[in-house]
Amino acid sequence: MLRYLSSGASFSEILLILLLTIPTVLISLSFHEYAHGYTAYKLGDPTAKSMGRLTLNPIKHFHPIGMLAMLLIGIGWANPVPINARYFKNPKKGMAITAAAGPLMNLFLGFIGLFIYWLIISIMLKLQILEVTPFTRAALTFFSNFSYMNVYLAVFNLLPIPPFDGSRVMFAFLPDRHYFAIMKYERIIMFIVLIAIATGTLSLPFAYITENIIKGMEWIIRIIL
């Protein structure tokens, strides 16, 4: 959104981007948190369910600052689903699987969005529809942004540093003393990463990885279609 504001885009263009982005953010973050809660529940942790967080209702997962950050810089967060590792038979393994569930859900959503995008184009080509209507253009823009944002969110969350999901996956492979030594600096690391993202320092590597994952998805979709 900051890119559009600085580019001198018209009010109508900014409004359209907002109308297309807000549903994407709400869906992406809600499914992400639901995946964490559902996976934890299947592994024996009833915490999310007992607190009413085992739902796709975006209001239950809404975090105002995280939502604003998502709209402005493309990276944000929801209200985290509570997880209690003591319920897991193997806490380390259970936390790693639960943590990985969120990014994997975003990758799945990214694939679905990209599939619908190319399905629309495929249908238009088969029906020899050459004129793109405003509705079709809006739909293609939505599913393109939806796919990219979800894959980008998955890549972002798999960073192997706290407090991201990748650090919980890393927890399964690190000795406890090393892991908890890193976790002491969770807030500082988070602050540094957010600054790096806001200033564009991490944009290029994130974008490179995201675009290559999308290329791989497109290769699979071409085979399907």
The one catalytic residue among 33, 186, 211, 218: 33
Q: How many CB atoms lie within 10 A of CB 140?
A: 17
211 is annotated as an active-site residue: no
Question: How far apart are alpha carbons 56 and 59 in whole angstroms?
Answer: 9
Give the closest residue to 168 by CA, choosing from 109, 102, 106, 213: 102
By annotation, the residues acting in catalysis are: 33
